[in-house]
Amino acid sequence: MPKVTVLDVRLYGEPIATLTNLQDGRTIFAFNEAYIENEQRPTLSLSYKDPFGALITKFRPYNMVVPPFFSNLLPEGPLRRYLADRAGVKPTREFFLLWMLGRDLPGAVTVNPSEGEDAPQDDEQAGIEARPNALRFSLAGVQLKFSAFKNDGKGGGLTISAQGTGGSWIVKLPSQQYGGVPENEFAMMTIARMMGMDVPEIQLVDLDAVGGLPQGVGELRGSALVIKRFDRTPDGPVHIEDFAQIFGVFPDDKYSKGNYRMIGRILGIETGTADVAEFIRRLVFNVLIGNGDMHLKNWSLIYPDRRTPALSPAYDLLSTIPYIEGEDTAALNFSRTKKMAALSKDELVHLAAKAELSEKLVLDTARETVERFKEVWEAEKKNLPMAAKVLETIDAHVRTIELYREFS
């Protein structure tokens, strides 16, 4: 008989499904009967809804990796390698990595060993000590970022702890490759908030104010960006999912298997007018500041009532063009193009038509965003802690954008 290891998938602490890993490396996902029969069940993912709104209950097995929804819960790149090493798990063995990190995942989903199960034994990892939850992490990404607790008492600051379940703040450490990234993101997120976008609470803190920085992250200098987790509240976790999960694609395909038109169409179907307008507002804003990294994982839905989706607060807003000379393309196609300079009223009209959104709503929101950006940017750009190169690059970039010229 093949060896089978089972993990319970819980949503808001309640078991809803299982992930079963077979000895040949395949992973099988299945919903529990009670979840299937519950007409008021909380939503795990729009990817599990068929075109008629019914719950999908039959799934194919995945070899070596877990299904896309769960693969997207795991960190990527250097952070994955770092945490896998800390947990004693191979980075490519997603089932076992999920087991190790499953107590502090984004949103309200957790993954736990089934009752009576020992730690899953990866045959290729024999002899390596498993360290469950070796270090908390938060939203996936390549920049090192960890979930932390805000310290009580006079000292303030935050603490990254090596055990337990996660805190309610994200600490994004300085990049070893590019200077001033936390300051850049703080400035762009601040401008976005001033323009009326939904942005979580953020702070810039000296690295000395962050306790428990793990060994092995390298020599870091400068400030860290601290962000209040919008999937954590005093009443418990709030479920979220990103658009790679919604579209059922793996993290490696976050730049290639989707576009902004598709995101807009989902929002038009599943959410309200205010969320569609906020999507257009953020889309135009990211073009104006030159953010070429708004891929599928940088757009998310949130489920405040556990069932009905809304566009989540904004995150990962920063200008990428100062770091990549000559790069002026968006992470995804708008509708027909991904050239930022080519974003125009005509391109937005095409996007609106294909996504079945109100053309008037899209164009009115775009115009308002351009006008509001010009006002806030000119008033605040010299008051924010971004490098001079960031300011100068955005000033030069924005004048190349057709939409900016059309609405000026």
Looking at per-residue confidence, does 162 or 337 come out higher?
337
For residue 408 the two structure tokens come to: 């000026």
Task: Specify the DSSP class assigned to residue 320.
Answer: -
* pLDDT for position 222: 78
For residue 44 the two structure tokens come to: 């795990």
Model confidence at 391, in pLDDT bands (50, 70, 90)? very high
Residue 290 near residue 340, CB atoms below 8 Å: yes
The residue whose two tokens read 């993954």 is 111
Which pLDDT tens digit goes with each residue over 264-296? Answer: 999 999 999 999 999 999 999 999 999 999 999
Question: Mean pLDDT throughout 235-260?
Answer: 96
Which pLDDT tens digit goes with each residue over 134-170? Answer: 333 333 333 445 555 555 544 455 454 444 456 788 8
Residue 320 pLDDT greater than 90, yes or no: yes
pLDDT averaged over every residue in the chain: 86
Instruction: Select from 292, 309, 305 the least CA-distant residue to 243.
Output: 309
* pLDDT for position 191: 98
Residue 222 vs residues 159, 173, 182: alpha-carbon distances, Å: 17, 9, 9
**Residue from 252, 293, 328, 364 carrying the catalytic annotation:** 293
Model confidence at 116, in pLDDT bands (50, 70, 90)? low
* pLDDT for position 218: 52
For residue 35 the two structure tokens come to: 């979840």
Produce one character per residue of 238-252: b if its CB has 16 or more CB atoms within 10 Å, e if not: bbbbbbbbbbbbbbe
- CA gap 124, 48 in Å, rounded: 32
- CA gap 105, 138 in Å, rounded: 7
**What phi and psi values does residue 30 have, to the nearest 5 degrees?**
-150, 135
CATH architecture of 237-406: Orthogonal Bundle (1.10)
Whether 253 is catalytic is no
pLDDT over 90 percentage in the chain: 65
pLDDT over 70 percentage in the chain: 84
Which pLDDT tens digit goes with each residue over 38-80? Answer: 999 999 999 999 999 999 999 999 998 999 999 999 988 877 8
* pLDDT for position 149: 52
